[in-house]
Amino acid sequence: MRTSLCFVCFAALAMLSCEGAGRSDGAGDTDTGSVGDGDAGGDADADADSDSDSDPDTGTATQSDNGCTNLDILFVLDDSSSMVEEQTNLADNFPKFIDVINAYETPQHDKLDYRIGVTVVGVTRNFKWKVMGVPLPASTTGPDGDLQGQSKCALGPHPWLAGPGPNVTDTFSCMADVGTSGSGGEMPWAALELALGEKMQAGGANEGFYGKDDDSLLVVVMITDEDDCSIEEGGTMTVSAKGASDCDEATSTGLYKAADVKQFLDDVAGGAGRYVVVGIGGAKPGGCTSTFGDANYAKRLKELTDACQGYGFFGDICKGDLWESLKSALDIITVSCENIPPVE
């Protein structure tokens, strides 16, 4: 997905469903509307953390007795030229993903209410490329975290998909088709922070998408064949001898850091354990090749999911099919939903 001067790509993804009372969408009305199986923590117990006890380590002393009843899923999708196959495979696998979510019941035997939003990796930034030691002006443009597809996919008064509903699968297929003519400078972390931060404010394009309620679980799924190179306004990115961006904090200035992105999510969601971060990218140093094409090693993306221990998951895009990663993510989403702690 990389052009000669490229940043990162993320395909953010998230989902779950609910019927029943519904919830406020921030505009004065309401949206109406176990996932997976296995041990999400990989430690032979029933929780999502990595220790051997059966209680999740979420950083809080208590958890909701009811689990989550609302799920807000944000997909940050790479819309660069190499992502055709990945976008198609995501749409193809969505029915299986949403079937699992629709089958989930809370301890009160209620269905989940969910919202699904899609944004892309393009962000408006002015920065510098350092080529052979010389800083040169550069810039990128994009929708800056705005949720996509409202008009194209007939989403109604809000730029997100509310479920469950009869046309969820077809509508999401439309939303996932974000095209491949996006910015060659992919900044998924920056897009994520804009989508859930500035654009969620009063009057913002995404106002009302995510509500930080005690029973709401936030899910972010990122799919990319690059690594994240989100950079601050005015930062400097080093360009390697091969003409590719070097997303290395040691040689660049102003790069976003995984620890800061995690802290942003802690603040937005109301504490650790109240969100799930899924990254699907190149899992091998040196990159890989699959039916999707080439993928660079997503080192920084993996650093973020590793930092979210117990509620982060990194999948290998070079498997050539996204379902295996999505299914593993569902296991973690299930455990996180069942053990969601209250807002800090």
DSSP letter at 199 equals G
Cα 340 to its chain centre, rounded Å, is 18
Query: Per the domain annotation, does 56 fall within a domain?
Result: no
Distance, in Å, from the CA atom of 303 to the CA atom of 321, rounded to the nearest integer, reads 22
* Number of structural domains the chain divides into: 1
3-state class (DSSP) for residue 323: helix
Residue 249 lies in a domain: yes
What confidence tens digit (pLDDT) does each residue in 160-215 have? 999 998 889 999 999 999 988 887 778 999 999 999 999 999 999 999 999 888 89
Phi, psi of 303 (to 5 degrees): -60, -40
Domain of 263, CATH number, reads: 3.40.50.410
pLDDT in tens, 101-143: 888 888 888 899 999 999 999 999 999 988 888 899 999 999 9
pLDDT mean over 4-26: 38
Whether 73 has a pLDDT exceeding 50, the answer reads yes
Distances (CA, A) of 145 to 28, 199, 288, 290: 23, 7, 29, 29
Comparison of pLDDT for 165 and 269, the residue scoring more: 269
pLDDT of residue 116: 96
- Phi, psi dihedral angles at 43 (to 5 degrees): -125, 25
Q: State yes or no: pLDDT of 21 exceeds 50.
A: no
Q: Which is higher by pLDDT, 336 or 109?
A: 336
CA pair distance 219, 116, nearest whole angstrom: 9
First to last CA, the chain: 39
The β-bridge relationship of strands 30-31 and 23-24 is antiparallel
Burial of 132 (C-beta count, 10 Å sphere; 0-12/13-18/19+): exposed
Kind of pairing, strands 134-140 and 253-255? unpaired
In a domain, 198, yes or no: yes
- Say what the pLDDT of residue 87 is: 86
Alpha-carbon dihedral sign for residues 56, 113, 264, 123: positive
In a domain, 161, yes or no: yes
- Tell me: the pLDDT tens digits for 208-262? 999 888 899 999 999 888 889 899 999 998 876 554 556 778 888 999 999 999 9
Answer whether residue 33 is part of any domain.
no
CA-angle at 297, arms to 292 and 299, nearest 5°: 135
Task: Please give the full DSSP string across 92-125, using - where no structure is assigned.
Answer: HHHHHHHHHHHH---TTSPPPEEEEEEEES---E
Query: Is position 163 within any domain?
Result: yes
CA angle 17, 18, 22 (to 5 degrees): 130
Q: Tell me how far apart the alpha carbons of residues 343 and 2 are, in angstroms, rounded to a whole number.
A: 39
Q: Which two tokens stand for residue 37?
A: 């199986």
Q: Does residue 224 fall inside a structural domain? A: yes
| Backbone region of residue 253 per phi and psi (left: phi > 0; alpha: psi in -120 to 50; beta: other values) | beta
**CA 200 centroid distance within chain:** 16
Indicate whether 51 belongs to any domain: no
Q: Among all chains, which residue has been given the structure tokens 């299986």?
A: 96
Question: What is the predicted pLDDT for the residue at 44?
Answer: 45
Structural domain containing residue 296: 66-338
Share of the chain above pLDDT 70, in %: 79
CA distance 230 to 244: 15
> Does residue 10 have a pLDDT over 70?
no
